[in-house]
Amino acid sequence: MTARAPRRRYLDDVGPLVDAIPPGRVLTYGDVAELTGWGAPRAVGTVMARHGHELPWWRVVRADGSLAEGLLARARLHWAEEGTPLRVGGDAVDLERARWEGPEPAAG
């Protein structure tokens, strides 16, 4: 492939990963950064803000299971539709239950 488009790096790594997150499950920005090898949650959030419009961004939350104010309103709708386990109040996802193990065949 003509790896001459750094922009595609996002859709190439984060795209399929976020799209692979099953309904009712979520990943944290840190997890996405780790799984993609970026190691920078800030970068994940940045590119999400630019290209996340075509991805299930509501399946990617902060380390505490919450999201930005403006996104919570939208995300809550998707969480309800997918039956994502939320914390008391529904302002954040219950990572204890909703945290996705990742594309790996979780041994066990």
Which spans of this chain sit near DNA (rule: CB under 7 A)?
Answer: 6-7, 9-10, 28-30, 38-53, 57, 60, 62-64, 67-68, 71
CB of 53 to DNA, least distance (A): 6
C-alpha distance from residue 84 to each of 10, 38, 75 (Å): 25, 26, 10
Nearer to DNA, 63 or 77 (CB): 63
Nearer to DNA, 73 or 105 (CB): 73
Nearer to DNA, 22 or 37 (CB): 37
Q: With the CA atoms of 88, 86, 32 and 39 taken in that order, what torsion angle do they form, in degrees rounded to the nearest 10?
A: 0
CB of 82 to DNA, least distance (A): 15
Residue found under tokens 């104010």? 69
What residues pair up with 86 in beta bridges, in sequence order? Answer: 93
CB of 59 to DNA, least distance (A): 9
- The answer to whether 63 and 28 are in contact (CB under 8 A) is yes
